[in-house]
Homo-oligomer: A and B are copies of this chain.
Amino acid sequence: MKLLIIKIDTSQEVEDALSIYAMDNLNALGVESRNRSDFEQAGWLHDSTVVDMDDIKDLPKDTYFYAYFDEEADRDELVKKFQDKMQELKGYGLNIGDAKITTSYIEDQDWNTAWQKYYHVINFSRHLAIVPKWEDYKPAFKDQQLIKLDPGLAFGTGNHKTTQLAMMGLERAIVKKPISVVDVGTGSGILAIAASKLGATDILATDISDESMTATEQNSALNDIKNIRVQKTSLLADVDGKFDIIVANILAEILLELIPQMDAHLNEGGQVIFSGIDYLQLPKIEKSLDENGFKIDLTMKQGRWVGLAITRKEK
């Protein structure tokens, strides 16, 4: 299988907007950004990659945004849509950089290899790091939990910001034992695995896709984790029982479908952790939470992305 790559020479300011547009509206197989600052930065690894500068022949002026599509996709139409989107973003007063769009095709296999070169350890926090399975990493602190991951093409490199916000919520919430967690829309299984590493005793990971079930089981095995069950279903439909923590790192539109299902699946005194919310969508989420008997305890915002810790309203 070959992949169509659309590469846009742009600015960091529109990176998130392009990611959402490519994934949600154009059904991209994956997206990726390379920021100049990622390459220049060293030592501080949050949401960035550190690469030997000599390795880089093609350093972005500001940001290269890449979207990956099936080779059968209509290249000219996609380019046109990205051009229109860039003009729309420019109209909002955003910096779109040079806005130069180029296209190419590569073998899927090559892409995986190229990608590994840029996808390195992410130090989410003092106690949690994500380590790609091909990476040999020695943490600065011996008790840092390493989450080994083979993200695979299906999930791209994910969005580190939204994952980190959800993990901060988990680190704050997992303070008792035993504690049960359901990870809704688990994708690669990363948050379910983080919950297990943090000491959650009973974990369910749900997702609507077969690929996610396979990836979650493989990534669980990679981490020697045995307390994660998987269930293929839409959100919490058909899920039995209640949990101490519901965590969901999915787009706001899907969270709106999840909210009415939560009360029936949350233990008394339980917490809900959301991530993946574009800040423009926050008012809708707040309204729906309020209507369903929930309130926001903590709001975390990084760039455009918002994460929430949520509890039931007091009676």
Interface residues of A (CB under 8 A from B): 37, 41-46, 123-127, 129, 140-141, 143-144, 164, 168, 170-172, 174-177, 198-199, 269, 271, 297-302, 311, 314
Contact A198/B269 with A177-B141, A300-B300, A301-B298 known, Cβ cut-off 8 Å? no
Bound state CA distance, A305 and B268, in angstroms?
Answer: 26
Check if A175 sits within 8 Å of B269, measured CB to CB. Answer: no
Bound state CA distance, A297 and B170, in angstroms?
Answer: 20
Question: 7 additional contacts, CB 8 Å, given A44-B271, A299-B300?
Answer: A41-B269, A44-B176, A126-B174, A141-B199, A171-B171, A298-B302, A300-B301
25 A-B pairs (CB sep. < 8 Å): A37-B314, A42-B269, A43-B176, A44-B269, A125-B171, A125-B175, A126-B171, A126-B172, A126-B174, A126-B175, A127-B171, A129-B175, A140-B177, A140-B199, A141-B175, A141-B177, A143-B143, A144-B175, A168-B168, A168-B172, A171-B171, A297-B302, A298-B300, A299-B301, A299-B302
Check if B124 sits within 8 Å of A127, measured CB to CB. Answer: no
> Which chain B residues border A311 with CB–CB below 8 Å?
44
Contact A199/B297 with A37-B314, A176-B43 known, Cβ cut-off 8 Å? no
Of the candidates A45, A144, A199, A300, the one having the most CB atoms from chain B within 10 angstroms of its own CB is A300
Residue ID in chain B nearest A267 by CB atoms: B43
Nearest-Cβ distance from residue A45 to partner chain B, whole angstroms:
7
> Which chain B residues border A199 with CB–CB below 8 Å?
126, 140-141
Residue ID in chain B nearest A179 by CB atoms: B140
Nearest-Cβ distance from residue A139 to partner chain B, whole angstroms:
9
Check if B125 sits within 8 Å of A172, measured CB to CB. Answer: yes
Bound state CA distance, A175 and B198, in angstroms?
Answer: 17
Bound state CA distance, A301 and B125, in angstroms?
Answer: 19
9 tightest A-B CB contacts, nearest first: A123-B175, A140-B177, A299-B301, A44-B269, A126-B174, A43-B269, A126-B171, A298-B302, A125-B172
